[in-house]
Chain A
Amino acid sequence: MTSEAQFLEHVQSGGVVEAGDPMPDEYRALLVKFIAMHGNSELMGVLPERDWILRAPTLQRKLALTAKVQDEVGHAQLIYRVCEDLGAPREELLDDLLEGRAKFHNVFHYPTRTWGDVGVIAWLIDAAAIVSQKALLKCSYAPYARIMKKICWEESFHILHGRDVILAMMNGTDEQRELVQEAVIRWWGPIMQFHGTRMPPEKDLVLQYRIKTKDNESLRQEFLDGYVPQIRELGLEVPDPALRYDEGEGRWLYTEPDWDELRQVVSGHGPASADRLDLRRRMRDANAWVRRAVLADAA
């Protein structure tokens, strides 16, 4: 048996890998790509929400949203450190992101239009994300699994914050309820695309190496199980007439998500992709002198 086959058997049987352990190049490259995309998503996920910190309608909401966004930046920082240990420096990863060579989650390529979006992002998008992230708690790469504990813990507070924002609006005026319903309609498509296509597990190397521990469709089903009943209980409609739980099949049936849209969006052609990357590039360039000053200090 080759050492690569032994490695695969090791991780598939529950074995873990530490930063200094020998690992196949393929595994290291997959890890960096996967973990960097997570870091990029935490970082780009700040931008849809940042404007709404400034617009938050009460002091308490402003504090909660600022804290949430601060958590996301903190997650990006932790995640990029894991990548650094794997040989991918943060500056390089950020350059890849800003120059369009790296990806981030589809949901962060869309604009936010109302305070309803703020609630739906914190509640449902963070819920979809936490389903994925919980499946990383048993990642074969132990340093990543360890930081995921902190991340999942904090994300669970974001969902509570999001649900509270939604509940306040649903208990408010007709206009407020309408803002929430419109936001659910706007975000449902991207949410259904979020966990990715139904890739056969045997073809998904990330799954084979137990970097993630559940396939895309299982994650989507888990999200639907947890949240469709809650959405409906609040009197909100899910904009998919085909969505229903099939007792016989033991799973949710739904209209096929628009996979072309997903491919377009994650390759940097979403409605807000260019503006968001452009904002980051402008700020990187404007702040370049600060980084030079700090690096000169550190040298």
Chain B
Amino acid sequence: MSARAPSRSDALLAAADDELILGWRDSEWTGIAPSLEEDVAFSSIAQNEIGHARALYELAARETGGDADALAFDREPAEYRCCPLVELRRLEWADTIARHWLYETADAVRIEHMTASDWPELAGLARKIQREEAYHRLHADMWVDRLTGGEERARLAQALQGAWPYALGVLDGALRERFRERVAARLPWFDAGGDPGAEHARGAHTVELRPLWDEMTMVRRSVPGAQW
């Protein structure tokens, strides 16, 4: 990535990196989800996220050069623009559902915003992504509604609290406030106040990104420049 003033492709890369890294985390459930149905569901969501990442990278590559794979795999970890929320390893179901729901809620706000972009290709792509993300939100909503009994509610509440500062780091300014309003409206029992710390906001990375990147790129790095 060249060092230059923020451009319209920066926001695109941020969204693409979020989708790639979250898709990667979703794939960690493959084969070990709580039920076969959820295994299939998370696999399907992971495929959508990776597919969205690819489409966003392709659009970004028109401005930055390179191709989608190079953007996805050939940057150093510090160059990724994903938010810390998606980097977190959350291989516990309540944590996964909390992150899933918070991310999908924030992502809906971001995609709505993108559909109004004056960059026609981005607006068109955002409308396409929006159609698929609607199903992710239905899935996330279903789980939030389902985990309402005593033990489950306590687990979900704790998981939401843990993820909340990171969730506030997905979006900035007016979009963040719109996200906060939606969370408060949907979960009246949850305290949606506060601000993200520097370590929760986009631009910071958690210690969990490096091992993820090591694993994600290990085959590709093993024979540099090869076709796979």
B73: chain A residues at CB < 8 Å are 57-58
Which residues between 241 and 299 of chain A lie within 8 Å of chain B, taking CB atoms?
279-280, 283, 286-287, 289-291, 293-294, 296-297
Chain A residues touching B, range: 35 or more
Q: Does A199 contact B (CB under 8 A)?
A: no
CB distance from B83 to the nearest CB of A (A): 20
Asked if A47 meets B215 with Cβ closer than 8 Å, knowing A169-B228, A172-B227, the reply is no
Which residues between 165 and 218 of chain B lie within 8 Å of chain A, taking CB atoms?
215-216, 218
Q: Is the CB of A66 within 8 A of B50?
A: yes
Q: Is the CB of B35 within 8 A of A293?
A: no
A286 vs B94: C-alpha distance when bound (angstroms): 11
Q: Does B13 contact A (CB under 8 A)?
A: no
A168: chain B residues at CB < 8 Å are 227-228
Quick one: CB contact mask for A147-173 with B, threshold 8 Å, 1 for yes? 000000000000000000100110111
Asked if A55 meets B219 with Cβ closer than 8 Å, knowing A61-B228, A70-B44, A290-B34, the reply is yes
Q: Is the CB of A293 within 8 A of B227?
A: no
A297: chain B residues at CB < 8 Å are 146
Q: Is the CB of A77 within 8 A of B36?
A: yes
A172: chain B residues at CB < 8 Å are 223, 226-228
Contact of A67 among B28, B47, B155, B226 (CB under 8 A): B47
Q: Is the CB of A296 within 8 A of B149?
A: yes
A43 vs B47: C-alpha distance when bound (angstroms): 19
A153 vs B23: C-alpha distance when bound (angstroms): 27
Q: Is the CB of B219 within 8 A of A56?
A: yes
Contact of A69 among B30, B72, B146, B216 (CB under 8 A): B30
B43: chain A residues at CB < 8 Å are 66-67, 69-70, 73
Q: Is the CB of A173 within 8 A of B44?
A: no
Number of residues on chain B facing chain A (CB within 8 A): 44
A297 vs B147: C-alpha distance when bound (angstroms): 9
B92: chain A residues at CB < 8 Å are 286
Q: Does B39 contact A (CB under 8 A)?
A: yes
A59 vs B146: C-alpha distance when bound (angstroms): 33
Report 18 cross-chain contacts, Cβ distance below 8 Å, ordered by A residue.
A43-B36, A55-B215, A58-B220, A58-B228, A63-B47, A66-B30, A66-B50, A69-B30, A70-B43, A73-B36, A73-B40, A77-B37, A77-B40, A90-B36, A173-B226, A279-B32, A283-B32, A287-B93
- B residues with a Cβ closer than 8 A to A are 24, 27-28, 30-37, 39-40, 43-44, 46-47, 50-51, 53-54, 57, 68-69, 72-73, 92-93, 146-147, 149, 151-152, 155, 215-216, 218-220, 222-223, 226-228
7 A-B pairs with least C-beta separation: A287-B34, A70-B43, A46-B31, A290-B34, A57-B220, A57-B228, A283-B32
Given contacts A52-B219, A57-B220, 10 further A-B contacts (CB under 8 A): A54-B215, A57-B228, A66-B30, A70-B47, A73-B43, A168-B228, A171-B227, A176-B226, A289-B155, A291-B35
